Chains A and B, each alone.
Chain A
Amino acid sequence: MVGMPYYYETGPTFEVLEDVLNNGDPPSAPAPRFPGDDRAIHVLNQLRDPSVFIATIMGLDSVTLNAGPNPTVADRIRAVNRDWFGMQEDPTGAWSPQPPFDPANPVTTGRWVNWYGHAEAIVRTTLQRALEVALGLEPDQPIEVGASPPRHWPIAMVWKCGQPWFEGWITWRRLGAHGLVFVVFSTPGNGDPIATTPLAPPNRPVAEYREHPVRSPGALGITCAGDRGHWVVAQEHQGPPPAWVPSSTPGAGGGLVPPIGSGPMLTVSDGDVVTIAPSEIDGGVLAAGRPYQR
């Protein structure tokens, strides 16, 4: 879970978490029982146990994440516990919860900008509720490994950043005997830079990146042929307007015209509207997903 250059992203870690929760592509029909049911039930019961660290059950030990920016399991656990949850690591590597909020010495949770709160509990509860929805269970309804859940819908994960506080959203949709659950973590920003353009630079080796209309020689353009997708539609460039200037007219122009709508906090989008499939490392998804493998 490192910063990516978009506001709305999935990326490798959440792809693996999808696989942990789904164990491949579970059948959406009520029967027959899917082998992945047991893993989903096991994860659900671990989420319901507050003594189990989330970072140990979300697939961070998958070797398919070793090529990313956090190449070891310890790196990935640290990124979640410290940067997302504000937990503290002692010299032995043991983790403790973040300290209570101290008005006399206010600090933010993890790397979230301008926000303090219980991110760990929000993530835990969101994933718990999402699994309950996916399995057709009522909130907190007990279920044991080996039982047959009423259903097993796949879960899709998205991270949306840049709002004042941390939320988890669960949206689901039944389509006949099938269905799909969407989970969106809508979080504060983490200070990482956002690209002012959805276009990847031409010299950046981004394997799955696609764009339409095609700008770069040799680019393939977007396709909806894969099983999964994650596209953004935006203008080519976003940026501030020209800086304000002093004014000779009292009450008009200069710094006393409020900045929203006319000043440095205004964003101006320009250029053509493009459709971009970001590379997975930039928050996109692989057409077949990224598996959880130990």
Chain B
Amino acid sequence: MTDKLAADLIRDDVEQSLGRFFAPREGFNVPAPFAHAEPIANQSHTAVIWEYSGVHTGDFHGIKPTRREVIVRGATVVDHSQEPPLFHRYVDWAEVMGQLGLAITGRPAVDAPFDL
């Protein structure tokens, strides 16, 4: 698999996945620091740092559409040493939650608070 093909697979993966929840505004792109560089790759793996710009238009696992504009940031590493290739996806979901107006409780849940 060429690096170009792996990068295209990553783009398709992001657009298919996120497009269900976030209608594309500017859609998929590779952010500025990496935009003009070749994919980070070796013989078995290809990595792409990406952003996806969209509008929250779909039910996001129970969160009704807010019409908010969001930017999802992530990185995907494709292991193409096997068939089918394996996708390792790292997405900054905490930032997405903040953009959607979700908040954390400020109380970490632990099994044994009395032992801390």
Interface string of B2-31 (1 = CB under 8 A from A): 000000010011101110010000000000
Smallest CB separation, B99 vs chain A (Å): 13
- Chain A residues touching B, range: 35 or more
Given A113-B106, A255-B91, the answer on whether A201 and B114 have CB atoms closer than 8 Å is yes
Report A-chain residues with C-beta under 8 Å of the C-beta of B14: 256
Of the candidates A115, A254, A257, the one having the most CB atoms from chain B within 10 angstroms of its own CB is A254
How far, in angstroms, from A255 to B73 measured CA to CA in the complex? 12
Q: Is A271 an interface residue (CB 8 A)?
A: no
Q: Which of B60, B93, B105 contacts A162 (CB 8 A)?
A: B105
Indicate with 1 or 0, residue by residue over B31-66, a CB within 8 angstroms of chain A CB atoms. Answer: 000000000000000000000000000001111000
A260 part of interface (Cβ distance < 8 Å): yes
Interface of A is mostly: loop
Given the known inter-chain contacts A193-B109, A194-B110, please indicate yes or no for A256 contacting B103, CB distance below 8 A: no
A112 in contact with B106 given A5-B114, A197-B111, A260-B62 (CB within 8 Å):
yes
Which residues of chain B (74-116) have a CB below 8 Å from chain A? 74, 79, 84-91, 93, 96-97, 103-114, 116
**Chain B's nearest CB lies how many Å from the CB of A257?**
7
Stretch of A63-71, A94-102, A128-136, A184-192 that contacts chain B: A184-192
Give the complex CA separation of A195 and B18 in angstroms: 34
A238 interface residue, CB < 8 Å from B? yes
**Residues of A with Cβ closer than 8 Å to B?**
5, 7, 112-115, 161-164, 188-197, 200-201, 204, 238-239, 246-252, 254-263, 265, 267
